[in-house]
């Protein structure tokens, strides 16, 4: 009797934790909605055309990103063998870098290095793929590493060819991970704002512009929020399509050196490395032609602002993900988080603008909270839902023993999810470093500005070349932040007995 009361209390507490995180995510929106009356039903006939364009560009972007990213992931195994752990972190960072550099910079640098600016559908697909192939490679590498090493070795022993291994073995095995990853990128591309709007033209200009125009051009917040709600419903229905089947997992404790070289040709790295090379060519071309002195006092303040906002965003993401892993409700109400997406940065930014707290520090903290709220559903979808789901069986077995939930969490769940939490916090922190939209809305003075925001401001004052001078600082700051968060997993793993 006492045991069942404790069990119910523990479950209630976990649900409470989960609902606190979800409530935190929804609160700013409810706060904003409370300022408008939503009595009228709006319908814009152009929504259908916008959705059609968004679906087309999303589908194509997805195919290119996942395909090249998948082969890039395989090549990372070969490279990992020849690199130290720190070198591999740096390589991972470089591959991820196009995904967090402000999109306008990626567009400009690549246009410079190619001497060509692809536009329309081809432009959107090209830039989406360029920005995310590296991220997909790194993510899939992590998942394959966890699941398919021993499976790959068995295939090698049986003399299976590389082609057969990939198409008959690995791909079906990774079906659920690919499905979740595809869902993540589907949402990312479907709601993508900068790239479609910069190069897509009208039809492929993205759905978020449709919401933004209601606010910016007509001042119709109620209408914008209502369209956001429609999109949320569409997304929720789509999440059902992408809902995956369970995998048979091939867990392995073998070291990475056992992963067969035959199945991980180094040449596949060309896909994810290509965008990085283009970015560096573009950057060096612009650097060679222009050289501006950077004011060191202002540079230091910008680096400090970037570090503060990114670090706090990363830490908040870390805390939210830890809370979600403690709740461990991904198989029940946790699925709601899969479908959750914030309806546009403008709506989220204004919600936080209205929240109290006007001091510089309060505004900086509000910026970080807003950014962590914005990224949390993304990182959850990206791999975290799957990571938690993979532990279901182990947790079920542990729960049969008479041990409190706290012990199961600290001994079974947390040690296994910690590397993923650290990696996702690092990602969240990198994205925060590259943000200028929310930061621009909430930050009130130059002394609390960030590198990315300063770059955007310089561009608004004709000074593109000077803006590019801040790019190395942004990249180095981001690299250090990435290593800092990756370090959490590293130090906690040392002296670890698996």
Query: Distances in Å between the alpha carbon of 311 and those of 208, 465, 481?
Result: 28, 28, 7
Backbone φ and ψ of 248, nearest 5°: -95, 115
Nearer of residues 178 and 311 to other proteins, judged by Cβ: 311
* Out of 66, 337, 418, 475, the residue judged to bind other proteins by CB under 8 A: 418
Nearer of residues 407 and 446 to other proteins, judged by Cβ: 446
CA atoms of 62 and 379, how far apart (whole Å): 17
- Where in 255-284 is the site for other proteins (CB under 8 A)? none
The Cβ of residue 221 has, within 10 Å, a number of other Cβ atoms equal to 18
First to last CA, the chain: 36
Backbone φ and ψ of 36, nearest 5°: -130, 155
How many residues contact other proteins, by CB under 8 A? 73
Stretch that binds other proteins, among 55-63, 191-199, 242-250, 334-342 (CB under 8 A): 191-199
Nearer of residues 243 and 457 to other proteins, judged by Cβ: 457
Contact flag: residue 460 with other proteins (CB under 8 A): yes
Q: Give the burial class of 490: count Cβ atoms within 10 A of its Cβ; 0-12 exposed, 13-18 middle, 19 or more buried.
A: middle
Nearer of residues 152 and 348 to other proteins, judged by Cβ: 348
Of residues 89, 67, 101, 68, the one with CA closest to residue 142: 89
Stretch that binds other proteins, among 20-28, 101-109, 268-276, 380-388 (CB under 8 A): 101-109
Helix axes 296-327, 414-434, angle to 10 degrees: 150
Contact flag: residue 181 with other proteins (CB under 8 A): no
* Out of 233, 354, 397, 403, the residue judged to bind other proteins by CB under 8 A: 354
3-state secondary structure of 223: helix
The Cβ of residue 48 has, within 10 Å, a number of other Cβ atoms equal to 9
Q: Which residue do the tokens 């000074």 mark? A: 463
The Cβ of residue 295 has, within 10 Å, a number of other Cβ atoms equal to 10
DSSP 55: H
CA diameter of the chain:
77
* Out of 4, 37, 296, 461, the residue judged to bind other proteins by CB under 8 A: 461
- Where in 48-77 is the site for other proteins (CB under 8 A)? 49-50
Nearer of residues 170 and 442 to other proteins, judged by Cβ: 442
CA atoms of 393 and 396, how far apart (whole Å): 5
Contact flag: residue 185 with other proteins (CB under 8 A): no
* Out of 17, 156, 234, 441, the residue judged to bind other proteins by CB under 8 A: 441
- Where in 210-229 is the site for other proteins (CB under 8 A)? 212-213, 215-219
x-marked contacts with other proteins along 470-489 as a string, rule CB under 8 A: --------------x--xx-
Q: What dihedral angle (degrees, nearest 10) is formed by the CA atoms of 86, 91, 97, 99?
A: -110
* Out of 79, 203, 238, 266, the residue judged to bind other proteins by CB under 8 A: 203
| Min CB(112)–other proteins separation in Å | 5
Q: Which residue do the tokens 């801040």 mark? A: 470
| Min CB(251)–other proteins separation in Å | 18
Contact flag: residue 496 with other proteins (CB under 8 A): yes
- Where in 282-341 is the site for other proteins (CB under 8 A)? 298, 304, 307-308, 311-312, 315
* Out of 199, 327, 374, 376, the residue judged to bind other proteins by CB under 8 A: 199
* Out of 11, 254, 258, 447, the residue judged to bind other proteins by CB under 8 A: 447
Query: Distances in Å between the alpha carbon of 80 and those of 132, 362, 376?
Result: 20, 42, 29
Contact flag: residue 27 with other proteins (CB under 8 A): no
Q: Give the burial class of 375: count Cβ atoms within 10 A of its Cβ; 0-12 exposed, 13-18 middle, 19 or more buried.
A: buried
Q: Which residue do the tokens 């589908």 mark? A: 59
Q: Mention every residue, 6+ apart, whose C-beta is less than 8 A from residue 473.
A: 294, 299, 302, 303, 451
Nearer of residues 390 and 454 to other proteins, judged by Cβ: 454
Nearer of residues 108 and 174 to other proteins, judged by Cβ: 108
CA atoms of 463 and 456, how far apart (whole Å): 9
Nearer of residues 71 and 318 to other proteins, judged by Cβ: 318
3-state secondary structure of 224: helix
Contact flag: residue 197 with other proteins (CB under 8 A): yes
Contact flag: residue 391 with other proteins (CB under 8 A): no
Contact flag: residue 361 with other proteins (CB under 8 A): yes
DSSP 102: -
Contact flag: residue 100 with other proteins (CB under 8 A): no
Stretch that binds other proteins, among 124-132, 171-179, 228-236, 444-452 (CB under 8 A): 444-452
The encoded tokens of residue 322 equal 């830890």
Nearer of residues 209 and 323 to other proteins, judged by Cβ: 209
Nearer of residues 401 and 462 to other proteins, judged by Cβ: 462
Nearer of residues 119 and 182 to other proteins, judged by Cβ: 119
């Amino acid at each position: 009797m006492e045991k069942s009361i404790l069990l119910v209390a523990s479950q209630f507490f976990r649900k409470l934790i989960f609902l606190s995180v979800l409530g935190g995510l929804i609160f700013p929106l409810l706060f904003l909605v409370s300022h408008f009356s939503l009595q009228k039903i709006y319908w814009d006939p152009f929504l259908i055309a916008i959705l059609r364009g968004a679906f087309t560009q999303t589908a194509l972007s997805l195919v290119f990103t996942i395909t090249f990213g998948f082969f890039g992931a395989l090549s990372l195994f070969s490279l990992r063998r020849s690199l130290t752990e720190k070198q591999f972190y740096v390589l991972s960072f470089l591959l991820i870098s196009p995904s967090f550099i402000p999109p306008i910079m990626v567009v400009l640098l690549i246009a410079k290095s190619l001497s060509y600016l692809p536009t329309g559908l081809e432009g959107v697909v090209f830039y989406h793929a360029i920005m995310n192939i590296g991220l997909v490679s790194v993510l899939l590498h992590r998942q394959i590493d966890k699941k398919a090493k021993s499976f790959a070795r068995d295939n090698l022993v049986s003399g299976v060819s590389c082609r057969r291994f990939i198409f008959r073995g690995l791909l079906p095995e990774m079906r659920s991970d690919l499905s979740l990853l595809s869902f993540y990128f589907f949402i990312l591309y479907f709601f993508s704002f900068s790239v479609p709007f910069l190069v897509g033209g009208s039809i492929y200009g993205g759905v978020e512009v449709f919401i933004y125009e209601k606010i910016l051009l007509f001042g119709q917040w109620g209408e914008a929020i209502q369209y956001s709600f429609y999109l949320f419903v569409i997304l929720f229905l789509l999440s059902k399509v992408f809902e995956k089947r369970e995998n048979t997992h091939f867990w392995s404790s073998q070291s990475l050196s056992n992963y067969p070289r035959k199945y991980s040709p180094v040449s596949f790295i060309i896909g994810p490395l290509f965008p990085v090379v283009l970015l560096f060519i573009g950057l060096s071309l612009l650097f060679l032609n222009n050289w501006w002195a950077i004011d060191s006092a202002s540079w230091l303040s910008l680096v400090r602002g970037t570090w503060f906002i990114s670090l706090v965003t990363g830490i908040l993401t870390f805390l939210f993900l830890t809370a979600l892993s403690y709740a461990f409700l991904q198989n029940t109400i946790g699925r709601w988080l899969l479908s959750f997406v914030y309806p546009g940065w403008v709506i989220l930014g204004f919600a936080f603008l209205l929240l109290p707290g006007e001091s510089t520090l309060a505004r900086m903290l509000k910026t970080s909270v807003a950014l962590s709220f914005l990224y949390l559903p993304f990182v959850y979808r990206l791999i975290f839902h799957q990571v938690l789901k993979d532990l279901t069986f182990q947790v079920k077995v542990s729960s049969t023993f008479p041990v409190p939930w706290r012990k199961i969490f600290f001994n079974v769940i947390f040690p296994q999810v910690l590397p993923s939490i650290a990696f996702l916090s690092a990602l969240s922190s990198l994205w925060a470093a590259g943000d200028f939209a929310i930061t621009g809305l909430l930050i009130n003075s130059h002394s609390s500005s960030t590198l990315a925001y300063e770059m955007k401001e310089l561009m608004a004052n004709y000074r593109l070349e000077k803006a590019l001078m801040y790019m190395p600082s942004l990249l180095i700051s981001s690299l250090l932040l990435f290593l800092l968060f990756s370090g959490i997993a590293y130090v906690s793993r040392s002296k670890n007995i698996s």
